[in-house]
């Protein structure tokens, strides 16, 4: 029996999926850097908010199977939260970097301490909803054919 290929992005296995906004400002860049570090530390698996925005069915399906959805937004524009909401997905844990005391600025104006602040906040459970860690309902959109929703780079 042939084994189905898995994505390098790791969304086939996660108990927790992390969506960073990855915006161009420092706080957006920090969401991505923190999500990468959290993935490396075993907190969850980073996933692409852009693929979620286009309705990638396999990513939505994997997100709905996750034990928890973590959304990291850089600023009060709440882009990642809005993208998830458009697909019927709500965060079980939601953090906004500017609410953690990180000032929004140019893309490279951050420190390693800023990354650690975000990572620590996630591990501490800051921004976690008390009613339900898992949420989501809608399925739809285009499927890349990749089981993990990583855009077909399996």
Q: How far is CA 1 from CA 5, 71, 107, in A?
A: 12, 37, 48
Q: What is the pTM of this model?
A: 0.78
> Token pair for residue 88?
């019927």
Digit-coded pLDDT (tens) for 37-56: 999 999 999 999 999 999 99
For 114-135, letters b (16+ CB in 10 Å) and e give bbebbbebbeeeebeeeeebbb
Digit-coded pLDDT (tens) for 62-71: 999 999 999 9
């Amino acid at each position: 029996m042939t084994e189905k290929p898995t994505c390098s992005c790791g969304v086939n296995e996660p108990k927790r999926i992390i969506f960073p906004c990855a915006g161009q400002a420092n706080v957006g860049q920090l969401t991505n850097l923190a999500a990468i570090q959290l993935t490396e530390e075993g907190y969850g698996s980073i996933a692409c908010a852009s693929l979620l925005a286009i309705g990638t069915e396999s990513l939505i399906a994997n997100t709905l199977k996750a034990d928890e959805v973590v959304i990291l937004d850089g600023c009060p524009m709440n882009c990642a939260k809005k993208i998830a909401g458009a697909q019927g997905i709500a965060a079980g844990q939601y953090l906004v970097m500017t609410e953690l005391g990180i000032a929004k600025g140019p893309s490279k104006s951050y420190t390693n301490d800023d990354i650690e602040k975000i990572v620590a906040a996630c591990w501490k459970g800051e921004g976690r909803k008390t009613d339900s860690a898992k949420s989501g309902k809608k399925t739809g959109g285009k499927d890349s054919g990749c089981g993990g929703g990583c855009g077909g780079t399996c």
